[in-house]
Structure 1
């Protein structure tokens, strides 16, 4: 096999870049294809405000005319100055070390040219992009916010000298619908917290009303996530970009916001009905008919995906969780939600991980994704 690396510089090439993943995992039930429209927006310098402070390059590997791998390299403006890291992301490849080595080598070469000393990933432009290589849980269906990959990826990275930088885990729980004792217990704890600390669940009359609180959500995200691996604060334009992307189609019952007596947000959880099966049926395209599968799943579903969750530090130990679970349990009973998927959580983020420990698991294997890192050079140089 003779591998050739080509840089992708136009829209047609980026479409092939996205489609490669679809072909690589064709027939894999656990794989959820990302929507072409969303991916192309992420890679578009005119649409994604991340390009204002970050640079990105895209490469594909070919064996003759056949694509056999892809990778994105990202120089995050703030991160490259602070820690001299370069990121790689959106990486996929066939099970051939020559391919993975050539792809990583392209990013490393670019990093060296810019005076950077470490490479880490998979990561995106922000913490809201796809991140992490699946290292456990290959039998579990991915969510719309997580990537699937084959088990051999981990071996390829380790043979190239990469080591663990951080791990994310997922929890998936069964919802004990109709449990009156649980309902009473959650009600009692929530009422106690409300009376003692002056916070309560915000009731929304419509999805549009939620938009008024979206800037507060991202302001809190910036402050409470600042210590997490790979997170960098979102600027005003990025916040608007994500509000337009995600808050335009929310269900008010699944947006959980805790406010104080001044109506200021002190904690929140953003959840969505699972769109994994809908995305598979749509085959990665919202149009012309994919949106019909998405709409159906949005309003008729038995699974809920957590997208974001945070609380102000001073409220994290004051029973915020009690209010959250009371409201969430009400929503699950109303909409007949049988299971909840947590989304990715850093393994050492105990305040979030502890939310899930008291409920029965809905899976029989651990789901774990890993960010790898290494000094630029070595075997892959």
Structure 2
């Protein structure tokens, strides 16, 4: 069957691009539908500040007039300058189980890459490290999270058939929250707090969080700078993320650590799991989607770890034990029994070794694929 590729240049085509996953994964018990307005904003040149230094093209695949695939291509100029790799990114890739569809979609991406003089195409990646990245290659029968991509098992098989290989993998853990914090974690946390004159920032509402919001992302820039594909967030991006996400965060799921000068030196951000609520909302806040989300934020037995960062001068000195101690204390109060780590680079053994102290299992793996020209 002939596959026709069209570049997205109209509102109708963008709607087709945004709508495909809700059709392709309808009824799938493991997929977590993204909020449609959030997806639309990220891809919108007028709204996403990443377009200050990014170019993007989107394509939709059709067979017999029916949408059967989609892909985005992103040329991140700051990535090229920072990493000295003239690579084009792809993301938001979905397709039916017909290899001719991803073949045609990726041919469009590769064609643009060659016009730009790129030497490789890699993905799935987003505009920034805070966008969705990594194609699932293990854990297809595990429920996803709001921060990750779900895809069918045939996706990575077809990527390999089309000449794409491994660039990097991320792993994920499902962790049981023990009744009692491991004694060694508690001792290290107390010792480090005293030795380096650190303290946990007291917070009872988001108004206590807001003064530190920008500092959190500045610390993200510092601590995440050497991770695969990461590009420093601009102030406009920081302001965008603070406005979009910090208003809905529960402060008892956040730990901020400051030094004696009250400067932020570490943080841990988590939130109650929205996976099941997002499945019920199915991409829309209205008329009832927001109710499911509010209920999940208020009462839950599961949580997602989103970001942990420690000032480089204090890394490897046990500060993360303070974050774990505070998380454990707050999870016990909130009735949280299980947490999802979300993706961690497979070579990041320091982070993964933390879960050796808890009942945990590595249950998912995802991959960034690459194809050199």
Q: Shorter-normalised TM-score: what interval? A: over 0.9
1:70 maps to which residue? Answer: 70
Cα deviation, 1:130-175, whole Å, max 9, x if unaligned, reads 1011000011111001010011111111111111000011111111
Cα deviation, 1:263-286, whole Å, max 9, x if unaligned, reads 111111110100010000011101
Cα deviation, 1:313-359, whole Å, max 9, x if unaligned, reads 22122221221111111111100000010111111112222222221
What's the CA shift for 1:183? 6.7
Q: Is the 8 A contact 1:121 1:131 kept in 2?
A: yes
What's the CA shift for 1:366? 2.6
The TM-score with structure 2 as length reference comes to: 0.97
Match of 1:109 among 104, 108, 111: 111
2:140 maps to which residue? Answer: 138
Q: Which runs of 5+ in 2 are unaligned?
A: none
The TM-score with structure 1 as length reference comes to: 0.95
Q: Is the 8 A contact 2:280 2:292 kept in 1?
A: yes
Q: Is the 8 A contact 1:183 1:326 kept in 2?
A: no
The SS at the match of 1:31 is coil
1:165 maps to which residue? Answer: 167
Equivalent positions of 1:1-381 (< 5 A) are: 1-81=1-81, 82-177=84-179, 179=180, 182=181, 186-361=185-360, 366-376=363-373
Q: Is the 8 A contact 2:92 2:124 kept in 1?
A: yes
Q: Is the 8 A contact 2:13 2:60 kept in 1?
A: no
What's the CA shift for 1:185? 5.3
Q: Is the 8 A contact 1:304 1:340 kept in 2?
A: yes
The SS at the match of 1:51 is helix
CA distance in 1, matches of 2:94, 2:43: 16
Q: Is the 8 A contact 2:5 2:105 kept in 1?
A: yes
The SS at the match of 2:357 is coil
What's the CA shift for 1:184? 6.0
Cα deviation, 1:228-252, whole Å, max 9, x if unaligned, reads 1011001110111111111111111
Q: Which runs of 5+ in 1 are unaligned?
A: 377-381
CA distance in 1, matches of 2:328, 2:291: 28
RMSD of equivalent CA atoms: 1.3
CA distance in 2, matches of 1:206, 1:26: 37
